[in-house]
Amino acid sequence: MKLFFFLLVATLTTASPVHVDLPTVMKLAGANNDEIQLARVKHTETLAESKLAWQRFWPSLTLGANYRRTDGNVQDIAGAVFDVSKQQYSLGPNLMIDWSPGDMYYSALAAKQRAQVAEQLAEKARRDIVTGATDRYYALLSAEAALAILEDDLRLTQDYEKQIGGAVNAGTAFRADLLRVKTQVSREKLSIRQHQEKRDLGAAALAEILRLPADTELRPAKADLIPVRLVDRKTSIATLISQATQHRPEMKAAGAVNSAAALESKRARLAPIIPNVQAGYGFGGLGGGFNGELGNFDDSQNMSIGLGWKIGPGGLFDKQRQIIAGAQEEATQLQAGKIKAAIGREVVQAAAKSQSSHDQISINDEAVAAAEEMVKLAKERQASQLGVVLEYLLAREELTRARQSRVLAVTEFNIAQHELKHAIGK
């Protein structure tokens, strides 16, 4: 799969121009964007932190050698002071445990939830980039389709210009009519140049989000300019909002944030009650003696264990820590409610936009049919000398506007369908 993407990108950067379809754009957007990679790196980091939190339960092991020498006065446990010259050395491993089980346990659980948050945010970044690439693709497709309509209209107008020119030379038409047609030709050429600029800007915007060279001449597949329904129109808004609440990565991330905050609140309340544990075990050899003696080396073992509670900040009776943790938990719940409300609004807006665009397609179909009939009648009237050139040109303008309006309606419908699919988390 990676080889496929590599070959595809290589093709796009060497061919000019290159036609791409929507599936290719979506695959490239999901695989070749550094924002997605950054989110994935963040997930990898938090996942490692989660694993590290559990590894803190492992005891530490050290292996080393120690040498110690004392010369001069020392005091024994009874209080007597006397002069001494001695030395000792030891060799062996030491196993140490320094645990705060409550803090460590809840901290590890919270770290696991934060890793889930990062995972869902990485998925959100991927979906956002793919949706953004889809929107830019359809914008490019719309500009290309509108340009094709104008170019088709220009060819017909130029043919009509030749006909009027012949009629003027034959003395059956006025020169003013020819000049009117020439003016229309210039107007259409200007419009074509403006739409070429719009297409080129759209191609640059699409190349940017796909992380392709800015000078890559992308062109959309014309077959994609058809209405494509991705979400069943019979599905109610309430059902769509329910699906969004279940599937949107933002909601899953908010749930994990809430869980992490709840665990931190428990940590503040319960962890100080659980005693800290300190234990150690060492074994190996110990030798030495008075003055320069280095012998007497033999086995040696030592062991220690202790329990304790911390009182004060971070320990027992730390009410402020509990208040802070409780406030943070409540804040995450409020934030989750805010995210849920925003998702509901996105679903409603996308559904309304989709329905409106669908209705506009039907209206534009009627307008195109009426404009085509108008052009046909105007051309017949012109042929029978019953009409004027202006009537025919106006009819052609109406047809061009109707066709362009339909292209825009189809484009907006497809964009709305993808946005609605994105809004419900699919």
Express each pLDDT in 234-244 by its tens digit: 889 999 999 99
Can you give the pLDDT at residue 386? 45
Question: H or E segment at 22?
Answer: helix 22-31
| Separation CA 112–CA 122 (nearest Å) | 16
Of 2-11, 215-224, 332-341, the range with the lowest mean pLDDT is 2-11
Q: How does residue 7 score in pLDDT terms, banded at 50, 70 and 90?
A: very low
User: In residues, how long is the chain?
Assistant: 426
Q: Which of 105, 106, 176, 139 is nearest to 22 (CA)?
A: 139
Q: How confident is the model at residue 336 (pLDDT cuts 50, 70, 90)?
A: very high
Question: 47 burial class (0-12, 13-18, 19+ CB within 10 angstroms)?
Answer: middle
pTM over 0.75: yes
The predicted structure's pLDDT at residue 296? 76
Cα–Cα distance measured from residue 87 to residue 295, given in angstroms and rounded to the nearest whole number:
11
281 and 60 Cβ atoms separated by less than 8 Å: no
pLDDT tens-digit map of 172-182: 777 887 888 88
Determine the Cα–Cα distance for residues 230 and 417; give it in Å rounded to an integer: 6
**Mean pLDDT of all residues in the chain?**
84
Q: Does 347 or 295 have the greater pLDDT score?
A: 347
85 forms beta bridges with 71
> Which of 31-35, 269-273, 356-360, 397-401 is the least confident region?
31-35
> Nearest-CA neighbor of 391 among 400, 376, 378?
378
Q: How confident is the model at residue 102 (pLDDT cuts 50, 70, 90)?
A: confident
How far apart (Å, rounded) are the C-alpha atoms in residues 149 and 224?
Answer: 16
User: What is the structure's pLDDT at 2?
Assistant: 43
Domain ranges of the chain: 2-59+101-279+312-423
Q: Over the Cα atoms of the chain, what is R_g?
A: 39
pLDDT (0 to 100) of residue 385: 58
Q: Contact at 8 Å (CB) between 56 and 104?
A: yes
Weakest mean pLDDT among 40-44, 198-202, 209-213, 228-232: 40-44
Residue with tokens 């403006």: 194
Q: Label residue 194 by pLDDT band (50, 70, 90).
A: very high
Tell me what pLDDT residue 49 has: 81
User: For position 136, what pLDDT does the model report?
Assistant: 92
Q: In this predicted structure, which of 23-37, 262-276, 410-424 has the lowest mean pLDDT?
A: 23-37
CB 275 within 8 Å of CB 308: yes
CA distances (Å), origin 129, targets 5, 36, 185, 200, 224: 17, 8, 41, 21, 20
- How high is the pLDDT of residue 383? 65
Q: Is the pLDDT of residue 354 over 80?
A: yes
pLDDT (mean) for 22-35: 82
What percent of the chain shows pLDDT beyond 90?
Answer: 30
Residue 19 near residue 140 (C-beta atoms within 8 A):
no
* 185 Cβ contact list (under 8 Å, min separation 6): 154, 157, 158, 161
Determine whether 324 is exposed, middle or buried from the number of CB atoms within 10 Å of its CB (0-12, 13-18, 19+): middle
Of 29-38, 252-261, 310-319, least confident by mean pLDDT is: 29-38
pLDDT at 284 over 50: yes
Pairing relationship of beta strands 18-20 and 218-220 according to DSSP bridges: parallel
**Other C-beta atoms within 10 Å of 191: how many?**
17
CATH topology of domain 2-59+101-279+312-423: Outer membrane efflux proteins (OEP) (1.20.1600)
Task: Return left, alpha or beta for 398; rule: phi > 0 is left, psi -120 to 50 is alpha, else beta.
Answer: alpha
Q: Which amino acid is at 41?
A: V
Average pLDDT score over residue span 98-103: 83
- For residue 117, pLDDT over 60 is answered with yes
Q: What is the pLDDT of residues 31-79, one digit of tens each?
A: 767 777 887 888 888 888 888 777 777 777 788 788 788 888 888 788 8
Q: What CA–CA distance (Å, rounded) separates 316 from 324?
A: 15
What are the phi and psi torsion angles at 122 (to 5°)?
-65, -40
DSSP conformation class of 59: P
Supply the DSSP symbol for 86: E
% of the chain at pLDDT higher than 70: 95
